[in-house]
Amino acid sequence: MAPDALEGVPARPRRGGSARRAELKETIRRYRDAFPDLNIVIEDMVSSGDLVTTRWRASGTHRGDLMGLGATNKRSEVTGLNLTRFLDGKVTEEWSEWNEANMLRQLGALPERESTQERALLGLSNLRTRVGGMLGGR
């Protein structure tokens, strides 16, 4: 990874550097600890010039803490896409898209889609947004 690599998801782009590399290593360690049998399969990889697009599938059994959620012993499978730019053999930019909410649903941490619980959470979230807007974003 290049020292000033841009990495993230569209909502949270970040520049790299040694602190970012250390953070990335810590994130990988947390997921490996939470899913000791983690298996990542590259489904497709396509390159064009300095860009590489990777479509992947990850699966594993939740056997350790993840984001404050204790082990559920439930299996989870998610898919994702990464768009990575290289220069001189180093990553200079990477964008990642995957459905973290789907993983949390599979682990029982979020309600099922279209459920009464999900509608209630969305209603509360919308109310919070409206009230925050009325208060000037405070």
Rounded average pLDDT per 10-residue block, the chain, 138 residues: 56 55 85 96 96 96 94 96 91 86 88 70 67 65
Query: CB neighbours (10 Å) of residue 93?
Result: 19
Residues with Cβ < 8 Å from 18, sequence gap 6 or more? 3
pLDDT score for 14: 53
User: Rounded to whole angstroms, how far apart are CA atoms 42 and 75?
Assistant: 19
CATH number at residue 20: 3.10.450.50
pLDDT score for 10: 47
Asked if 20 and 67 sit in the same domain, the reply is: yes
Instruction: For residue 12, tell me if it sits in a domain.
Output: yes
pLDDT score for 19: 61
pLDDT score for 35: 97
Contact 108, 95 (CB under 8 A): no
Asked if 58 and 33 sit in the same domain, the reply is: yes
pLDDT score for 100: 86
Whole-angstrom CA distances from 8 to 81, 108, 133 are: 12, 26, 28
Asked if 52 and 117 sit in the same domain, the reply is: no
pLDDT score for 106: 92
pLDDT score for 7: 55
Whole-structure pTM value: 0.70
Contact 118, 105 (CB under 8 A): no
Contact 62, 107 (CB under 8 A): yes
Print the domain residue range for 117.
111-138
Instruction: For residue 1, tell me if it sits in a domain.
Output: no
Domain count, the chain: 2
